[in-house]
Structure 1
Amino acid sequence: MKFNKIPDDGLRLAANMETRYDAWLQAQRKIAAGRLQWKTSGDKEYLYRIIDSRGNGTSLGPRSQATEALMEAYRVARLTAEQTWDTLEREGRMYRALRLPRIASYGAEVLRELDVSGLLGESVLVVGTNALCAYVLEAGRFLGSELDATEDFDLTWVRDMRDNPAQSPLDQPSVFGVLKQVDSTYTVNAERPFQARNSQGNEVELLIAESLTGLPAYEKLRPIPLPEQNWLLPGQRISHITCGMDGTPARVVAPDPRWFALHKLWLSEKETRNALKKDKDRAQGETILQLVHEHMPHFPMDRRFEESLPIELRTYFEAWKQGTDRAPSAAP
C-alpha cells in the first residue's frame, strides 16, 4: 500500500492548531472551575466562585490585591478562550478544506469536555477507528477512506485506581458525568452498561483492561474487564489535534500504534467478535503496522519490541513479518 503524504501546509496547520488548542484548553479549565463574581455583604465586597446556575458559590475572600488578581486572571482566561476559539474555528474550516482526518462531531465535543475535565490521556484513551486520526497525523500520511467510517465512539479506561485511590464525586469527574455535561439526554444502556446513548442515537462505549482494579464507584458506566484491553496500555501514547466533521477541534490521545495494530489483528480472529467488523479490524491492523514500519521510525519494531509481546500478539507480528518479508532489526 502506498501512503500519500499530507501536504506541508496541512501539517503546518495541524501544528498551529495544536498550539492554539493548548492555550484554549488551559483557559477553559480555569473557566470550568467556576465563574467568579463580586458580591456585596454589608459594606464590603467579596469574591465568589459560582458553583451552580442559581448563583450559589463559595467565598474566596474580601476584595484585596489577592482576590483582584484572581478576578483579573479569570477575565484574561475568558478573553483568551474566546479569542483562541474564534481562531480555531477559522482554522477548522481550513482543516476541512484540506481533507485532513476527522472524527464524528459529537465525538469531538465529548473529547473536548474530557480534556477540560482532565480525564483524557490521564484516565481514558481513544480506541477503535477514531484512534486512526492520531496515527495519520503522527506519520504525516493519509490512509484509505474505507478505514475511517465508524458508527460509535470507543474509550478505554487506563488509570489504575491503586495508584489513584477513588475519591468522592465532588473531587473527581466521571466519564458519564462528562457525557451529561455535553448532552443531558445521554443515558446508560441497561442491556450494555458500558455504553451510553443520547437521544440522537450517538453511542459512547467505555472499555477497561482486565489487569486494572476497576473504576471509581461513582462512575455509572460499568465496562466488563477484558484481557485484550491490557495490550493497549504499554508503549508510547500518541496525542494530536484533529477536528470533528463540523471543523471544531479536539484532542485524540491514542495507544501506541504498534500495540493497537496487533490488537486489531487479534480482534479480527476473535470468535465472539461481530463478523461485520472483522475485515475492517484486519485491514486496520495490517495498514497501521505498515504505516509504522515505513513512516514512524521512532516506534521501532525491533527484536526488543518483539520480545516484549505476549505470545498471543507475537504470532500475528511474526505472520506480518513473513507476509511482508520484513525482519526486526536488532535492538540497540
Structure 2
Amino acid sequence: MNTAQRYQAWREARDRRFGFRGSLVWHHSGSSEYLLRSYYDGSGVRRQKTEGPRSPETERLKAQWDAQRDAATEREKALQTVLDRQAAINRALVLGRVPLLGARIIRALDAAGLLGRGVRIVGTNAVYAYEAAAGVMVDASITTTEDMDLLVDARRSLRLAASADIAGGALISLLRKIDRSFERTRQDFRAANKDGYLVDLITPQTEPPWSVDEVRIGAAEDELTAIPITGLAWLESAPAFEAVAIDERGAPLRIVAADPRVFAAHKLWLSAQPGRDPLKRRRDAAQAAAVGRIVGHYLTHLPYTAEPLRMLPRAVFDAAQPLFETADPALS
C-alpha cells in the first residue's frame, strides 16, 4: 500500500507541474512591455495571449506563477526520489511483476491521457492489475507474455494529450518514443519491435460489421487501425477496474482494465471457441480460473451477480459462475 499511496501523491504532483507547461515572460513591442503567456490548449496546440502591459499587478502575477511553478517542480522531484527508494525496496522483496517494456507502454498511454479514457488494457497484462488489487500472485506460466492488447472504445473520440510532442498524435509514434524499432506490420492493427514484442489495437465487432468507420487514434500514414473482434463489447461495456501494479524494477504504474468478473467470463468463453488455437484456449481457461479465484476469495466487494454484469449474454454469465465459487484459492 505504501507504493500505491506514494505513487498517487507523485501523480498529483506531476499533474500539478504539467499544468505549468508553457511560459509567462515579458515581451517588448515598440516602447511597451507586455506579459505574454504561452500555453497548450485541450488539443495540444501551443497558443499565446497577453496578460496586459507591465504594471504592479502583472508583476505580481508573474512572480506568483514563477513561484508556484518552481514549487510544483520541486515537489515532483522530491516525490520521485521517494518512489526511487521505494522501488529499491520492492526489488529486494521481489514484488515486481509487470514486464519492463509493457510497463513503459502503459505509462506512456497514461501520460498521453488515453489510459482509462478510451483505451483499456486487456488480455494477459490485465491480470497484473487483478493480482495487485488482491495482493496475490498467480502462477507465472499464465502471465508470461511478449505482447499487449489495447482495447480502444470506438464510441469515443480519442486524442493524445501529449500530441504536441508525438508526431501526428499517433499511437505508432508514441510507441516509437519508447522503442524506435516499433513498426506497423502487414497486419495494420499490429506493431512489432526488433525483439518481436507485439502491440495490437483491437475494438469490438459491430453489427453489421461495416456500420462504423475505421478506428484510429492518430493521423500518421502508418498509424495502427483497430481490428474488430467479436466478444470485446462485453469488455468495452464492463465497469473499469484500476489498480497500481509493480514492474520488474520495482517501479509502480497504473493499469486500467475491465472488471475482473467480465474478464474471467470472457476468457472462459474464448476457451470454448472451436476455431481458436488449442494452446491459447488452454491459457484462456487457466487465466479465467485464476481471475475467478482472485475475485471469489479476495475481491469480495465484487459479487458475481447479474445486475452489474448485464453486458454479458446470459449463457456466458451462467457458464462462468462456477469460477467464482471454488473453495481453494490456489494462489501464491
Q: Tell me the TM-score normalised to structure 1 length.
A: 0.77
Query: Which residue pairs with 1:41 in the alignment?
Result: 28
Q: 1:181 to 1:27 in 2, by over 3 A?
A: farther
| Helix, strand or coil at the partner of 2:231 | helix
**How far does residue 291 in structure 1 lie from its aligned partner after superposition?**
1.5
Q: Which moved more, 1:266-275 or 1:103-112?
A: 266-275
Preserved contact between residue 10 and residue 76 of structure 2 (Cα < 8 Å): no
Q: For the residues of structure 1 that align with 2:158 and 2:290, how far apart are their CA atoms?
A: 39
| CA distance, structure 2, for counterparts of residue 297 and residue 92 of structure 1 | 29
CA distance in 1, matches of 2:160, 2:148: 27
d(CA) in 2 for partners of 1:93, 1:165: 36
Residue 126 of structure 1 aligns to a residue in which SS? strand
Structure 1 pair 307–200 and aligned structure 2 pair: CA distance change class (3 A): closer
Residue by residue over 1:172-217, the C-alpha shift from the partner in whole angstroms, topping out at 9 and shown as x without a partner, is 944334223333432211x221112234433222111124955357
Is it true that 1:249 corresponds to 2:244 in the alignment? no
- The aligned counterpart of 1:181 is 177
Distance in structure 1 (CA, Å) of the matches to 2:133 and 2:39: 40
Aligned length: 305
After alignment, is 58-67 or 91-100 more displaced?
Answer: 58-67
Residues 127 and 255, structure 1, Cα contact 8 Å, conserved in 2:
yes
The equivalent position to 1:195 in structure 2, one of 174, 190, 201, is 190
Alignment match of 1:140 (pick from 131, 135, 140): 135
Letter in 2 for 1:44: E
Give, in angstroms, the shift of residue 237 of structure 1: 1.8
Give the equivalent residue in structure 2 for 1:282: 285
2 CA distance for matches of 1:89 and 1:207?
Answer: 34
Equivalent residue number for residue 107 of structure 2: 112
Mean alpha-carbon deviation: is it higher for 42-51 or for 262-271? 42-51
| Corresponding letter in the other structure for 2:243 | H
C-alpha distance after superposition, 1:253-279 (max 9, x if no partner)? 110000001111122233343333222
Give the aligned partner of residue 330 of structure 2.
none
Q: After the TM superposition, which residues 60-139 of structure 1 pair with which residues of structure 2 at under 5 Å, given as runs?
A: 60-61=49-50, 64=58, 65-139=60-134
Partner SS, residue 102 of structure 1 = coil
TM-score (normalizing by structure 2): 0.77
How far did residue 109 of structure 1 move? 1.6
Task: Compute the displacement of 1:41 (Å).
Answer: 3.5
From the superposition, tell whether residues 84 and 45 of structure 1 become closer, same or farther in structure 2 (CA, over 3 Å): farther
- Cα shift at 1:102: 2.1
RMSD: 3.5
Tell me if the contact between 1:120 and 1:253 (Cα under 8 Å) persists in the aligned partners.
yes
Conserved in 1, the CA contact under 8 Å of 2:36 and 2:48?
yes
Q: Percent identity?
A: 25
Q: After TM superposition, give the deviation of residue 315 of structure 1 in Å.
A: 5.0
2:159–2:169: 8 Å Cα contact kept in structure 1? no
Aligned to 1:329: none
Contact 2:91-2:248 at 8 Å conserved across structures: yes
Which of the numbers 232, 237, 262 marks the counterpart of 1:234? 237
Greater shift in the superposed pair: 105-114 or 250-259: 105-114
How far, CA to CA, are the matches of 2:281 and 2:244 in structure 1?
Answer: 28
Structure 2: distance between partners of 1:37 and 1:146: 53
Gaps of 5+ in 2: 328-332
- Does the 8 Å CA contact 1:27/1:80 hold for their aligned counterparts? no
Q: Distance in 1 between matches of 2:194 and 2:160?
A: 31
Matched residue, 1:294: 297
Matching residue of 1:16? 5
Instruction: Give the superposition deviation at 1:298.
Output: 1.4
Q: Do residues 264 (structure 1) and 244 (structure 2) align?
A: no
Alignment check: 8 A CA contact 1:25 1:116 kept: no
